[in-house]
Structure 1
Amino acid sequence: MGNHQSDLPPRSERHGAKKNNQQNNSLLKDIVSTLLYIAFLFGIFFIINRYFYTPVLVDGDSMEPTLHNGDYLFLNVYSDIDNFDIVVFPPPDEEDEDTRYIKRVIGVPGDTIEYHSDILYINGEEVEENFLDYSVEGKDYYSSGNFSLQSLLGIEEVPEGKYFVLGDNRLNSRDSRSFGLVDEEVILGKVAFRYWPFEDIGFVE
């Protein structure tokens, strides 16, 4: 009988080719999995950014010492607004669509607001403003002065759908003392979280 010569490559070569195919398939699966994971993260970020939280950049020092120029924040766009929340809104007396103000809510609908010798009174009761760190720059830096809603705006209390806002840096802030009350419908959201700079990451109060 004559010798039969096979066209197949040697077994060692076949084994090597099979191993390479397995490695290539494994690598392809890893790449696809990574791309799907990245797409998933981008999708989650888009949904959060579009429907729940919006990133903003602090530009200026009117909220010192709480917020600093260059801070990056997330706004909660679906949250009730209460006293001392920090909110972002377009300036009520300007038409610049790109300008945004960031201030602290001092008075909500139904509140009476008064300042006497830098002491805040809401509805006749003294309220301590713990967010004003007098030890940083000295008390004069945060002076609120003496005023009431009556003397400032000619009203007794904050009307429904309006808010009275101030910057924490009272001597260097353009706020309700200048432009009056802020409409609830124009508020873009309240500050929830600071994500930059790294050393200041955390929730904002």
Structure 2
Amino acid sequence: MSENEKDGQRPLEEEQGSDPPEQGETAWVERRSWQWPPTSPEVSQGRPEGKSPESDPPEHDAPPPAPASPWGEPVTAEPPDTGPSPASRLNMRRLAIDAIETLLLAALIFLAVRLSFQNFRVEGVSMFPSLQDGEYLIVNKLAYLKVDLSALDWVPFFDPGDHPVRYIFGSPKRGDVVVFHSPDRPERDFIKRIIGLPGDTVSIDGASGRVYVNGLPLEEPYVRGRTQCSATLMGCGPWVVPAGHYFVLGDNREQSTDSRFFGFVPEESIVGKALITYWPPEDFGLAPNHSVSFAGQ
């Protein structure tokens, strides 16, 4: 018995036309040269000496040969593909794209809202009774958004006019409640009511505490206390509001630090206009922006 027989290996004949094994030797495989289409290799089972052909089992009882590769070697059938079908992969890809688009849209909406609105907490009683200490409100930062039309002067037949800077949603009005940066401490924000517009002449009657704009007394039902002026840095006026500035007062006139003390507020310091009060829940509603009227009108 050869070493290969001892090891249980099946010897392969490497060259075509070699002598077949003698009777009694182990099986062998004849490797054929390249053919197309490929043919199955011939397999010889080799009978031991002394046995007749009649003693061999019928051909139909023999196991069928394994499928062969083009090189004449048996191959094993691959298991069926159990992965997702092309249609399933396409649906998964579409779902992933939809999810990414939804997240991007949500991020854009969040940024747009964050750039347009901001929430604030009222600290102090300078706007009482219109706003309470500890009350939360939302400020519209785009309320006084402006655009410079002079940037479009290259457009044919377009004339920006003498005043190219225009308000998109409207300019600040008398009676608007606004949030602005403190003149002496810009990191802090104040909330007051606009009383004087650019070009207005504002004065205060020290005896009665009444506020006058352009010589006319204001009707202010939202005010608490008397408007004092004698002890303030600005005195009782009159003051002419310069261009691009505003004169502001708190509704609680006896406990408010406002334009009577720090002067006019530049427009670029205005953060936005109070829009909604939302906390505590019983105070939910529109911010107390009142249209200021003149007495007797």
1:145 deviation in Å? 2.4
Give the SS at the match of 1:177.
Answer: helix
Describe the shift of the 1:59–1:42 C-alpha distance in structure 2 as closer, same or farther (beyond 3 A). farther
- 1:21-170 paired onto structure 2 within 5 Å: 44-50=109-115, 52-78=116-142, 79=144, 80-94=171-185, 97=187, 99-116=188-205, 117-132=208-223, 142-146=225-229, 152=235, 156-170=239-253
Structure 1 unaligned regions, length at least 5: 1-28, 133-140
Mapped pair 1:182 → 2:265: yes
Tell me the distance in 1 between the aligned counterparts of 2:106 and 2:222. 35
TM-score by length of 1: 0.68
1:120 deviation in Å? 2.0
1:39 deviation in Å? 8.4
TM-score by length of 2: 0.48
Partner of residue 13, structure 1: none
- Is 1:91–1:101's contact at 8 Å kept on the other side of the alignment? yes
Identity across the alignment (%): 40
1:153 deviation in Å? 8.2
Describe the shift of the 1:131–1:76 C-alpha distance in structure 2 as closer, same or farther (beyond 3 A). same
Letter of the structure 1 residue corresponding to residue 140 of structure 2: N
Deviations 1:71-122 (A, max 9, x none): 1111111232111111111210225x2x111111111101111222122221
Give the alignment's Cα RMSD to 1 decimal.
Answer: 2.6
- Is 1:153–1:180's contact at 8 Å kept on the other side of the alignment? no
Describe the shift of the 1:109–1:142 C-alpha distance in structure 2 as closer, same or farther (beyond 3 A). same
Larger C-alpha radius of gyration, 1 or 2?
A: 2
Describe the shift of the 1:37–1:194 C-alpha distance in structure 2 as closer, same or farther (beyond 3 A). farther
Tell me the distance in 2 between the aligned counterparts of 1:69 and 1:47. 29
Letter of the structure 1 residue corresponding to residue 203 of structure 2: E
Q: Which has the higher mean CA deviation after the structures are superposed, 108-117 or 154-163?
A: 154-163
Tell me the distance in 2 between the aligned counterparts of 1:109 and 1:167. 18
Letter of the structure 2 residue corresponding to residue 189 of structure 1: G
More relative contact order, 1 or 2 (CA 8 Å, 6+ apart): 1
1:44 deviation in Å? 3.3
Mapped pair 1:200 → 2:283: yes
Tell me the distance in 2 between the aligned counterparts of 1:114 and 1:122. 7
Tell me the distance in 2 between the aligned counterparts of 1:166 and 1:105. 7
Letter of the structure 2 residue corresponding to residue 180 of structure 1: G
